[in-house]
Every structure is written in C-alpha cells, then in structure tokens.
C-alpha cells in the first residue's frame, strides 16, 4: 500500500501552491489531478492581483505566463436602453511591479505545475479521487483509480464543490445564497485590435465590469478582461437570485444578449470565440467560509470559500495561492510535532488569521450583503442612465433649466433611499 507524507487533491492554484511550498522543504508530496493536464478543469474570469502573494513565491513571478498587466479599470452601469461608464487609469497602474494581470488558467496552472514538479513533488493527472479513507475518525488518505493511497495529511484543493471535503464530513451542504455561477467566452482577437479598441500600448491590459441589465438586474455582473490575443467576456449571476427571478430567463440567452449589447458588440467585432466555459464562484464572504481543517485534512482555495467580491474588485486566485502556502506551513509544523490532528492543524487557521487572507475576509464581512443590494443592479443603472440622458438631451425647443431637471430625479425620496444604501458603505 502506497503511503505519502502529503496528498494534495486538485492541481489548481491552491493545491499547487501547497505542493510548491512543501516540496521546497523536501516533503514528499503527491498531487492528484482529474484533468488531462493541470488547468484543464480550471476557470477564472479572470484577473489575479499579485501584490499580496508576491513575497510568498518570489522566484515564480518573473517568468509566470500571465497575459497583460491591467492599466485601465472600467465600470459601466448598464440600463436597459442606455449606459453610464466611468474609467480609471493612472501611472501607478503602468509602473512595475504591476498590481494585477489578466490570466488564462489552462496556461498558467500547467506552467505552475511544472515548477512544482521541478521542486520534487509528484503529479498524477487523469486521476479522479472517488473517496476519502478514514481511520479511527481521522482522514488517512484517499481512494483514486481504485487504489487506496495513504498520507499523513490530505489537502482538499478540489475547488468550489470540494467533494473531498464533503466526503470527509468537513463540508456542510452548500446553499445557493452563497454561490454564483459564471459563464465565459474566450474570444480571439489580434493584439493590434485589442490595443486600438482598449487604448493600450504594448502589454498593457484593460478590465471592464458591467452592472445592471447585463444580468437582467440580478446580483452579479458582466466582465471583460483583455488577454494577449483574446478577450475573456462573461457573466456572473447569483444562483439564489437567478432562481427567484420572475419571469425566468435562460442563462445562456443572457450571455448572448450581453454580447449583442451596443457597449459590447464593437469590442468583440470580428473576434472568434475559441472556448466557452462555466464555473461556480463562492460569494458568501467571511460567513460563507467552510471549515478549514479537521483531523488529517486541510481545506484550501475555493474549496474553503476563499473568494471575495467587493464590487469593484473581485478576488480569489491570490487567496487560493496564499491559503495553499499557509496550509503547507501548518503541515511543516505538524511534521515537527509528529501529529496531524485538528488541534495541531489549527495552526493553518492562525496563520491565515495573521495574514491578509482572513484579515480581508473579516474587514469585509459586510461586503456580501452590501454588494447584493438589488437596487445596485436594477434601480441605479436605470436611474443614472435617465439622469445622464436628461443632462445631455437637447430638445427641439428650449432646454429645461438644469437644476429643476436634476431635482426631478433627485427628489427627497430618492435622496433618502440613496443615503440609506450608501450608509452601508460605512460597514466596509
């Protein structure tokens, strides 16, 4: 019977980060990946913010196959018949080290897995974990390909659904309220067209978010990220909100409608869709986090719920990398103690607590409730659209005075509702 020091289930960012840090310290580590190659089952929107994890993996970033560094941030409030956009750019975004990059996971994860193998970890692809081995109440390994594989500790890095953590009894049933579903098309476009359409030079990139009619007024949004020679275009919608919608619309139809919007169509004109992907995303914030450890098991990345949506920034991958790194540190400490019980592995929770990971989740505990305010997706895009329409309108006759026009929109009831909505910002 095979016995390893550590078995990592899933060669995504969290699992590979854990294996990288463990192999770096000479720990015998087996990574099991069900896909054909690492990254083949993984999907991002996507953009990664590098700053929080730059120092955890100093030797990785210089050669990492990232797409473009983001220098333009755009947000569009999308009403049914019009839209209002604002953008931000700055020298701070154009200057190295760059804070965020667009990324495609099949390329990135495959590359990261090669670095992990170089460190001495063993990677087994095309291998599905079908069960968790338990012995005396603790996790003792996994079943994969019909074989029982034993380990001192198992790292559940198998993504948002984490059947591994569920089988170990560490995942209570997931609730639609705390998850969103994303769909994405990768649309190939020549680099010159991307540069022209998004006003970019060299390897600069742009990120755009679309709030409102993109998701038929439901919690979520549209996104667009420029890659080197493609754009990633997609929609994310809260699952509970989608189920409650009336009348029901089809998610694939919403995506097609989004692509046909006048704000989007010219950006992807002559582009060729080369891939269509779907993925589930944790949206529960701090309260949505899953148990992080048990006897003989640690839970990392999406499996633990490490994704955080603050409206303007939507983050997950750096939390995945960091959680894998800190899981590895906790395992190193457990090895010294020669004990892999939950009490020893609780060190993982303490390390996360001291790091940006749980500090962010605690700071932004109120974020899920704030960003799910239905008025941000239905009312405000329409409101801002009407306001800008009337400011810009030049009628056939004399134009109305500006102040009464503004007051027509910003009446007392509206101002009071706005005050109440934005008062919630103080909780963030």
Would you tell me which residues interact with another protein (CB under 8 A)?
34-37, 39-44, 104-107, 109, 125-128, 130, 144-145, 160-161, 163, 173-174, 176, 179, 181, 183, 185-186, 230, 232, 239, 242-243, 248-253, 256, 273-280
Supply the minimum distance, in Å, between the C-beta of residue 267 and another protein: 18
Sequence-ordered strand ranges (E) for 50-178 = 69-78, 83-89, 100-102, 122-124, 129-135, 138-144, 147-156
Tell me whether residue 224 or residue 351 sits nearer to another protein (CB atom). 224
Supply the minimum distance, in Å, between the C-beta of residue 274 and another protein: 6
Check residue 28 and report its DSSP letter: -
Beta-bridge partner residues of 375: none
What is each CA distance from 201 to 92, 206, 233, 416, in whole angstroms? Answer: 15, 11, 21, 44
Tell me whether residue 276 or residue 312 sits nearer to another protein (CB atom). 276
Supply the minimum distance, in Å, between the C-beta of residue 394 and another protein: 38
Please give the full DSSP string across 45-57, using - where no structure is assigned: -SEEE-GGGTTTS
Taking the C-alpha atoms of residue 346 and residue 348, their distance in angstroms, rounded to an integer, is 5
Query: Using N-to-C axis directions, what is the helix angle for 402-409 and 379-392, rounded to 10°?
Result: 170
Tell me whether residue 34 or residue 335 sits nearer to another protein (CB atom). 34
Tell me whether residue 207 or residue 330 sits nearer to another protein (CB atom). 207
Tell me whether residue 40 or residue 99 sits nearer to another protein (CB atom). 40
Query: Using N-to-C axis directions, what is the helix angle for 13-24 and 317-337, rounded to 10°?
Result: 40
Tell me whether residue 143 or residue 418 sits nearer to another protein (CB atom). 143
Taking the C-alpha atoms of residue 26 and residue 44, their distance in angstroms, rounded to an integer, is 31
Supply the minimum distance, in Å, between the C-beta of residue 225 and another protein: 12
Tell me whether residue 165 or residue 331 sits nearer to another protein (CB atom). 165
CA dihedral 318, 324, 327, 329 (to 10 degrees): -90
220: left (phi over 0), alpha (psi -120 to 50) or beta: left
Cβ atoms of residues 42 and 66 within 8 Å: no
Supply the minimum distance, in Å, between the C-beta of residue 239 and another protein: 6
Supply the minimum distance, in Å, between the C-beta of residue 399 and another protein: 42
Angle 345-350-352 (CA atoms, 0-180°, nearest 5)?
105
Supply the minimum distance, in Å, between the C-beta of residue 68 and another protein: 14
Cβ atoms of residues 142 and 124 within 8 Å: no
Taking the C-alpha atoms of residue 314 and residue 393, their distance in angstroms, rounded to an integer, is 35
Supply the minimum distance, in Å, between the C-beta of residue 390 and another protein: 35
> Helix (H, G, I), strand (E, B), or coil: what is residue 207?
strand
Supply the minimum distance, in Å, between the C-beta of residue 44 and another protein: 7
Taking the C-alpha atoms of residue 42 and residue 415, their distance in angstroms, rounded to an integer, is 44
């Amino acid at each position: 019977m095979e016995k390893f020091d550590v078995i990592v289930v899933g060669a995504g960012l969290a699992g590979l980060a854990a294996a990288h840090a463990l192999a770096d310290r000479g720990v015998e580590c087996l990574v099991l990946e069900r896909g054909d190659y690492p990254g083949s089952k993984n999907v991002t929107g996507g953009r990664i913010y590098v700053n929080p994890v730059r120092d955890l993996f100093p030797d990785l970033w210089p050669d990492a196959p990232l797409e473009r560094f983001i220098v333009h941030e755009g947000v569009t409030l999308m009403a049914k018949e019009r839209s209002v956009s604002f953008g931000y750019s700055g020298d701070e975004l154009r200057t190295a080290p760059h804070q965020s990059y667009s990324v495609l996971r099949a390329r990135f994860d495959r590359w990261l897995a090669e670095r992990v193998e170089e460190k001495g970890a063993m990677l087994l692809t095309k291998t599905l974990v079908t069960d968790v081995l338990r012995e005396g109440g603790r996790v003792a390994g996994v079943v994969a390909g019909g074989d029982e594989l034993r380990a001192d500790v198992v790292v559940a890095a198998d993504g948002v659904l984490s059947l591994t953590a569920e089988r170990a009894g560490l995942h209570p049933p997931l609730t639609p309220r705390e998850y969103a579903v994303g769909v994405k098309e990768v649309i190939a476009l020549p680099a010159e067209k991307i540069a022209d359409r998004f006003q970019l030079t060299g390897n600069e990139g742009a990120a755009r978010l679309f709030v409102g009619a993109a998701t038929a007024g439901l919690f979520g949004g549209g996104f667009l990220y420029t890659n080197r020679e493609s754009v990633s275009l997609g929609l994310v919608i809260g699952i509970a909100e989608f189920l409650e919608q009336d009348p029901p619309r089809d998610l694939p139809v919403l995506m097609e409608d989004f692509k046909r919007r006048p704000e989007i169509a010219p950006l992807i004109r002559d582009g060729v869709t080369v891939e269509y992907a779907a993925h589930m995303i944790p949206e529960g914030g701090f309260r949505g986090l899953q148990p992080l450890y048990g006897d003989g098991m640690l839970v990392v990345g999406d499996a633990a719920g490490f994704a955080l949506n603050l409206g303007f920034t939507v983050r997950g991958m750096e939390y995945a990398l960091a959680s894998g790194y800190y899981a590895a540190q906790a395992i190193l400490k457990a090895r010294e103690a020669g004990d892999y019980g939950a009490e020893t592995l609780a060190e993982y929770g303490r390390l996360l607590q001291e790091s940006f990971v749980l500090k962010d989740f605690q700071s932004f505990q109120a974020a899920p409730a704030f960003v799910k305010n239905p008025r941000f997706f239905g009312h405000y895009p329409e409101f801002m659209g009407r306001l800008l329409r009337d400011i810009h309108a030049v009628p056939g006759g004399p134009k109305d005075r500006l102040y009464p026009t503004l007051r027509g929109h910003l009446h007392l009831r509206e101002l009071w509702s706005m005050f109440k909505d934005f008062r919630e910002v103080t909780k963030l």
